[in-house]
Chain A
Amino acid sequence: MRDELMGLLFRGIVWFGVYVLLVLLPLGLALLRDPIDMARAWSLEFAVAIGLIAFAILAFEFALVSRLRSASEPFGTDSLMQFHRQMGVVGMVFLLLHVLLLVPHGVGLAMLNPLGGGTASQTGAIAFWALLLLGVTSASRTRLRLRYESWQWLHALTAVVVGGAALLHMLAVNHYLSNGVLRTTLLVYTVAFIALLLRYRVVRPLHLARHPWKVIRNESIGGDTRSLQIRPVGHKGLDFQPGQFVWLATGRRALTAQQHPITIASSAETGDPADIELAIKAFGDWSRDVVPKLTVGTRVWVDGPYGALTPDRFPGQGFVLIAGGIGITPMLSILRTMRDRGDVRPVLLVYAADRPERMVYQHELDALEKELNLRTVQVFESPPPEWQGERGLVSVALLRRHLPQHFKHYQFFVCGPAAMMDILEDQLLELGVPAAQICTERFNMG
């Protein structure tokens, strides 16, 4: 297991190194051009360099979220999504700087008119405005009342426009891109982007279409949550690790289906047939309106498994599982798997919810407490007056009251609402838990 962990760490470092290299490579190649031809002011060259880096950052934005399993395994999909968002902002700021720094060099703001000037200025202006649209719609999606799926399509479309227009802009300016090696490299970046997009939008869905699943049970389990049991049709199903998630695709055809990340709640020791259970809480239009209508026999598709929140990769002498709300699903999978494997390592489960009636799988957790070396602490934010147990938010003080003596040798898994995660990530470090022993996953990606 330690070897697997080291392997993951090594892969993480290699992937990150490759990413940095690919972002900076165009600038390195630009140096190959005969310098005597391009003696221009420092600030002008800086503006150009920033523009080249912005292009490379934006070209690889999609790679970060295109479900490349080997790249997402070391970091976790939610972390890659966060990195994607933050590097997107960096790319946008760089592009803005690129334009502003060019102003003193005679590139007037009139260049931002997509209908005026020559090809270079028109394509530059299109890339600029498309990127601005992409940034604004991403930052204010909820304020603009954009459905997540509509926003996803708009996001992909504007990203393609930005990438295409920026490439045409650089080709039209033809300064550093008159260097054949650099031109070829940037064309390769563009082809890689298109290939990833095709894999994501066409190849993967076609693969999913050949491996359908069907709903065999769909029932409400309280707390605005439904338990969905699905069975593989004509194939062996999934080989997953406890705590991992899948993209559940629902709709008429796999190619056009809506896909949502949902954690597998069942044991990784699947039987035959290899059914899996998903617990889905009603949040928005899909989970509220579509999921309840997935009647028995409905065809769905499953892309996965993904995710790094799993004891199979982060072993410990024991485990501390901290779940907030529907964040209980990966913990349930971990506990069910431990039961099926006869794993007797000690586990402390801290399960936080608004009120007792918002909790799910209560009876099963009680049963698991008897079958496993498990202790459960329930925490309610707004408990009924007669509640004698823990109340409020999960905090260091609360954890101190319940953590076992040798907790620093335990592996911590945390999954819950963003606010809880922000607090706990810091507080666990304060408690002295080594960072490498804290594994987290966030359920909100956008």
Chain B
Amino acid sequence: MHHKIITRVSMVLAVLCLFVAAAFAWLVSPAQVALATSSDATSAGAEDMLFVKYCGGCHTQDEMLAILRKDDDLAGNADSMQQFLKRHGKSSDEQDAQIVAALKELAADR
């Protein structure tokens, strides 16, 4: 078989693998997860989805809960978090409030 054909097949296969890996990452990345779960309200609440969509790319829920509980100042920390989201987040003010309220509730519960 031709040397060149095999080289081409290997290259095409390598590119195909890269595309499949990219598609996989896109499918499981936060925005898609939020979309995928938006029709399944029982498995995750709307606030959870917002968290996953806007924060989950870089932060875990546990990290956020630890920040909220810092120095036992739940209310103060929640205010700072909301201010932070207002300045840096891509979510609307209303969504910021929803995310922080849900996290606050969780932090108080656990």
Contacts and interface: CB of A to CB of B under 8 A. Distances in A.
Interface in B15-64: 16-18, 20-22, 24-30, 32-33, 36-37, 43-44, 48, 52, 56-58
Question: Chain A: interface secondary structure?
Answer: helix
Contact of B44 (A23, A36, A79): A36
Nearest to A85: B10
B6 A86 contact: yes
A440 B3 CA distance: 9
A57 B17 CA distance: 10
Contact of A39 (B13, B21, B33): B33
B6 A79 contact: yes
A8 B68 CA distance: 66
A435 interface: yes
A50 B27 CA distance: 14
Contact of B13 (A20, A41, A93): A20
Contact of B17 (A43, A90, A422): A90
- What is the size category of the interface that chain A forms with chain B? 35 or more
Nearest to A23: B17
A393 interface: no
A36 B2 CA distance: 47
A45 interface: yes
Contacts of B26: 42
Interface in A53-98: 53, 57, 75-76, 79, 82-83, 86-87, 90, 93-94
A31 B22 contact: no
Interface in A1-51: 16, 20, 23-24, 27, 30-31, 35-36, 38-46, 48-50
Contact of A27 (B1, B5, B20, B33): B20
A83 B6 contact: yes
Contacts of A421: 3
Given A23-B17, A39-B56, A83-B6, A45 B43 contact: no
B87 to A, nearest CB: 20
A443 to B, nearest CB: 13
B21 A50 contact: yes
Interface residues of B, number: 35
A42 B25 contact: yes
A426 interface: yes
A136 to B, nearest CB: 20
B30 to A, nearest CB: 5
B5 to A, nearest CB: 8
B88 interface: no
Contacts of B36: 35
B52 A36 contact: yes
Nearest to A429: B2
A36 B18 CA distance: 24
Contacts of A49: 20-22, 24-25
B9 interface: yes
A440 B1 contact: yes
A87 B32 CA distance: 31
Nearest to B13: A20
A153 B110 CA distance: 57
B102 interface: no
Given A40-B56, A41-B57, A31 B28 contact: yes
A422 B52 CA distance: 54
B29 A36 contact: no
A76 B1 contact: yes
B33 A90 contact: no
B4 interface: yes
B10 A90 contact: yes
Contacts of A38: 28, 33
A45 B3 contact: no
Contacts of A75: 1
Nearest to A12: B1
B3 A27 contact: no
Contacts of B58: 41
A20 B13 CA distance: 8
B3 A425 contact: yes
A36 B6 contact: no
A396 interface: no
A30 B13 CA distance: 20
Given A36-B52, A86-B6, A438-B2, A45 B29 contact: yes
Given A27-B24, A36-B33, 13 more contacts: A20-B16, A23-B17, A35-B28, A38-B28, A41-B29, A41-B57, A42-B29, A45-B24, A46-B24, A82-B3, A83-B6, A87-B10, A94-B17
Interface of B: 1-7, 9-10, 13-14, 16-18, 20-22, 24-30, 32-33, 36-37, 43-44, 48, 52, 56-58
7 contacts: A35-B37, A40-B57, A44-B25, A46-B25, A53-B17, A57-B17, A82-B6
Q: Pick the 4 closest A-B CB pairs, nearest first.
A: A45-B25, A49-B21, A39-B56, A86-B10
